[in-house]
Each structure stands twice: as C-alpha cells, then as structure tokens.
C-alpha cells in the first residue's frame, strides 16, 4: 500500500498536517493507499509556490511556444504511461478498464489541443477614433485553484490544468479525496515534461478544509470547480471575499428525448449508454428518459431486457461493462434513491444492491430503470449520479420540451428523431449548454462544455476553456504630438 505525499514546488513533500485519508478500491472496499489530508498551512505553501512561480520564476518568461511544447510533452508522457495510469484509475474509481483507457486517450488529446492553442492566443487592435493605437492584450490571470471531482479523476483535472498551463497561469489542484491516485502519479512526470517547480502543485485533502482554504486564499486569482451544486454555492460565497473569477460545472438532470419516429434500436442503445456509462456517474448523464407514447411500452421493455445483460464486476476485468460506484457514501446515496424510486414509480429493471460472489464486497448497485415516472418525482428532479434511469412518457413535441426544460439544471439534453425540422425546433428550445441530436454523450475537447441555469458558470474546453484563465488589458498608445488639448 502506497502512502502519498503532496506535490509542491516541483517535488513530493510531507504535509504539515498529520491527518491522513484512506483511499479505497470501491470494487473490494479495501484501503489501497493513503494521502495527506492537507490543512491550511499546506495549502498556503502550495499557493506560495504557485504565486512565486507566476511572479518570479522562469514560467513568466516562457513563450507561448514553450508552453505548447510542455503540453505536447505531457500528452506524450500520458500516452507512454497510459496502461499504468488507466489501471490506477480503475482501481481507485471502479470504472471499467476499457473506459479508463478511453479517459487516458482523452487526457492526452486534451493536453495536445491546448498545446496547439498556446500559440494561437492573441489580442486585438481596436479602431478607436484618435490618432492612436489601441490594443487589447490577453494575459494569464495568475494562480488558479482547481477543485476536481471523482468521476473522471485525471480527465477532469486535465480539463482544468491544460488550459491554465496554455494561458500561462500556475496551478494548485486538489483531486477529490476519494480518487487522488492518478493525478499524484502523473505529477512524477511534471518536471520531465518541462514544467518548472511551482507551476502545477497537487494538494490532497477534504473539501471543507483543503478545498475551502484554496477558495478563500487571497493569493489565488481564480477557482475552477466541478462537483455538486451545494458545493458550487459554497464556493461562490467563499470566492466572494476576495472577488475571484470562478467557473463552476455542477452536473444536471439531463433529458434524453425519444420521438416515435427515431431509429428504434439506436435509440434504445442511446438511452442505455446515456445513463449507464461510467456507472451513471456522469455530469451529463441522460437520467431523464422521455419517450413518446406510441413506442413507450416497447421502449421500456427493450431497455430493461438489455439492462439486465450489463455485466457488473471488478473494473480490471475486461469483460466488465459496469463497475462499482465510487464510494460507500455514493453507494448509500444511490441505494436511497433506488428506494425512493420504488415508492414513486414502477421498476422495469434493477432497484437493488448488486450481489453474488465478488460483488458482495464492493459498492455495486444494479443498473436500474424506473418508468411511469412523473417529472415532479424526486427521482426526476434530483441528481442521483449513479446507474438509475427515470423514464417519463409524453404525448407530443410541445409537452416533451416543456418537461425537458422543467428543471433547475441545464447542462445537457439530447433529442432523437428522423425529422430534421423537429430536431432543429428542439435544439432552439432546449435550455441546456450542450444539445445532442441522435447521440448522447459524445464530448470533444474542441467544443465548449458547461451549463445553463443552475448547472454552472462559465465554459470548459475549446477556446472558451482558456478564456477562463485569462484577463484582458486595454492599452492606448498616443501617436499625436499634443494629446492633452485641455488648457
């Protein structure tokens, strides 16, 4: 069992805090590692390192080309270490190894994208009416505090670190307490990639303490967070004291809408994939499945039949399609919603803890499909973040879109139909930051990611993602001999 240290100022260091966090393999419920539970002093040391690296270190003189090369090197290192990192990710988060390998590919691609973007960030020349040159310069915002969730541990960290490095910021990143291992392992390659000491610092610890200390630190200029809306609100308040720029990605209750004219087989698979990929621990999970009446019953039956064939097991087994949920806490939460669902609606599949053989030890739950769900039910309103689908019938287009938009969330939505006009009407009316047509979940680094309504603030990925780490400086250069014509 490995005992990790913090990664600060280019090296692994002991925490000043003596408290530790047990890291658990959710497939076996065994402790597989320990990390420091960093305190305020530890966070302060990491922030000081990031501050010094931003203000005085070699990083401030790194050119855009230099930053691009570092990011390409990080991508190459992730590719070289992909098998090792994917296995760690699976052991720590429970996700199927095939999905963890996909994550590592996405991590490398994300570093590459921002490696390429580094040299394309440029300012503007503005047509002001004077004899002057007016410029808008785009500069890095400074020290970025980044708070990462446990569902895609290394990928979510990368969505935040890569654009920050691209922009020329320095970083203090905190992985989720449940899943710190992949990022702590990758940190051993940071200096090989050419990151000077202090540019990226990794601090492990609990959210209420270490996370809050990052949010409130006066020397942190920006906070990026992915997680629950409750914590999103806490972070907004915490950042108010020092008026930090924030970006928040807070999940959803995303509608996946199936019209009667959609390709039936593809639609059923799209519904299942949309909610059961990564054990349903996906911010954009299609957790509300809206199905038009003429195909409703057949659709529910087809989903249920296929859901029962999903092979649960240890994620390290290549045959596994669904692993355990990430933690005891999340297991209890999903079980609670399974019980609520049984009272609120009808069960088409699952509804219980998954048992039998090795499953008994870990945090396994059955892929669950509730149907005849009403959109006012708790299982239709509250994010469950597990393999639990709520199927809701609808009569016509207008009703479907009304139900779809009747939620405080607005991260993603999908619509399935063969009618391009119907699809485009839905695209215009859906109040969500991401809308898929005849697909659910494809996510590309080139395209913006983030929520409408209470699903968040700001956007990650693409050129939008790097804006979150930059600020604009307006410059006026007078060219006339007597500019102050006042006396």
Residues that bind ligand NAI (CB under 6 A): 147-151, 174, 176-177, 206-208, 211-212, 215, 226-228, 231, 234-235, 249-251, 283, 333, 383, 385
Cα(232)–Cα(246) distance, integer angstroms: 10
Q: How far is the CB of 164 from ligand NAI (least distance, A)?
A: 17
Nearer to ligand NAI, 157 or 302 (CB): 157
* Residue of 256, 299, 300, 315 whose CA lies nearest to 441: 256
Q: Min. distance of Cβ 274 from ligand NAI in angstroms? A: 15
- Cβ partners under 8 Å of residue 307, min gap 6: 272, 276, 348, 349, 350, 367, 369
Residue with tokens 């990083």: 59
Q: What residues have CB less than 8 Å from 270, skipping those under 6 apart?
A: 256, 258, 286, 414, 416, 438, 439, 440
Name the minimum Å distance from CB 327 to ligand NAI.
8
Q: Are strands 388-394 and 368-371 parallel, antiparallel or unpaired?
A: parallel
Q: Give the H/E segment covering residue 111.
A: helix 97-117
For the CB of residue 477, give the shortest distance to ligand NAI in the complex, in Å: 42
Q: Which is nearer to ligand NAI, 59 or 152 (CB)?
A: 152
What backbone torsions phi and psi does residue 30 show, to the nearest 5 degrees? -90, 145
> Catalytic: which of 99, 216, 249, 460?
249
CA triple 323-440-230, angle to 5 deg: 70
Active site residue 110: no
Euclidean distance between CA atoms 202 and 234, whole angstroms: 22
In whole angstroms, the minimum distance from the beta carbon of 306 to ligand NAI comes to 25
CB of 169 to ligand NAI, least distance (A): 19
Residue 5 falls in which region: left (phi positive, over 0), alpha (psi -120 to 50) or beta:
beta
Q: 179: closest CA among 71, 90, 279? A: 90
Q: Which of 283, 344, 366, 397 is catalytic?
A: 283
Per the annotation, the verdict on 185 as an active-site residue is no
Phi and psi for 314 in degrees, rounded to 5? Answer: -65, 130
324: nearest Cα among 359, 349, 350: 359
If we measure between CA atoms, which residue out of 292, 246, 248 comes closest to residue 267?
A: 292
* Cβ partners under 8 Å of residue 104, min gap 6: 78, 79, 82, 85, 86, 89, 154
Q: What residues pair up with 171 in beta bridges, in sequence order?
A: 144, 200
402 Cβ contact partners less than 8 Å away, ≥ 6 residues apart: none
What string of DSSP letters covers 380-442? HHS---SSEEEEEEESSHHHHHHHHH-SS--SEEEEE-S-HHHHHHHHHH---SEEEES-S--
Active site residues: 249, 283
């Amino acid at each position: 069992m490995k005992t990790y240290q913090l990664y600060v100022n280019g090296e692994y260091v002991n925490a000043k805090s003596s408290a530790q966090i047990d890291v658990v393999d959710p497939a076996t419920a065994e402790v597989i590692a320990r990390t420091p539970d960093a305190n305020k002093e530890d966070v302060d040391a990491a922030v000081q390192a990031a501050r010094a690296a931003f203000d005085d270190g070699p990083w401030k003189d790194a050119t855009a080309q230099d930053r691009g090369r570092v990011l390409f090197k990080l991508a190459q290192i992730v590719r070289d270490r992909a098998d090792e990192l994917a296995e760690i990710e699976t052991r720590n988060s429970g996700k199927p190894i095939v999905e963890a390998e996909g994550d590592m590919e996405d991590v490398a691609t994300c570093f590459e994208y921002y490696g390429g973007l580094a040299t394309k960030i440029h300012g503007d020349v503005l047509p002001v009416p004077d004899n002057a040159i007016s410029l808008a310069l785009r500069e890095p915002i400074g020290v970025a505090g980044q708070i990462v969730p446990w569902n895609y541990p290394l990928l979510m960290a990368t969505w935040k670190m890569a654009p920050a490095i691209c922009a020329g910021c320095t970083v203090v990143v905190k992985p989720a307490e449940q899943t710190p291992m992949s990022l702590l392992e990758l940190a051993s390659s940071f200096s090989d990639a050419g990151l000077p000491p202090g540019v990226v610092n990794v601090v492990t610890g609990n959210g209420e303490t270490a996370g809050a200390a990052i949010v409130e630190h006066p020397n942190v200029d920006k906070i990026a967070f992915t997680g629950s809306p409750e914590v999103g609100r806490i972070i907004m308040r915490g950042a108010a004291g020092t008026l930090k720029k924030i970006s928040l990605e807070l999940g959803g209750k995303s509608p996946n809408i199936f019209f009667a004219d959609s390709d039936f087989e593809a639609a059923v698979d799209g519904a299942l994939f949309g909610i059961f990929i990564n054990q349903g621990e996906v911010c954009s999970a299609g957790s509300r499945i809206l199905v038009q009446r003429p195909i409703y019953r057949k659709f529910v039956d087809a989903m249920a039949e296929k859901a029962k064939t999903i092979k649960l097991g240890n994620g390290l087994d290549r045959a596994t399609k669904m692993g355990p949920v990430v933690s005891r806490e999340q297991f209890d939460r999903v079980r609670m919603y399974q019980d609520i669902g049984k009272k609120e609606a009808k069960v088409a599949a699952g509804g219980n803890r998954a048992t039998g053989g090795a499953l008994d030890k870990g945090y396994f739950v059955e892929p669950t499909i509730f149907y005849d769900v009403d959109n006012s039910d708790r299982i239709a309103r509250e994010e469950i973040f597990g393999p639990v689908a709520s199927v809701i019938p609808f009569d016509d287009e207008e009703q479907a879109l009304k139900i779809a938009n009747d939620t405080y969330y607005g991260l993603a939505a999908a619509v399935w139909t063969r009618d391009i006009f119907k699809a485009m009407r839905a695209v215009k009316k859906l109040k969500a930051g991401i809308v898929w047509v005849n697909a659910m979940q494809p996510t590309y680094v080139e395209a913006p990611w983030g929520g409408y309504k209470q699903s968040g603030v700001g956007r990650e990925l693409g050129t939008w993602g790097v804006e979150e780490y930059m600020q604009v400086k307006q410059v006026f250069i007078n060219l006339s001999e007597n500019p102050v014509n006042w006396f």
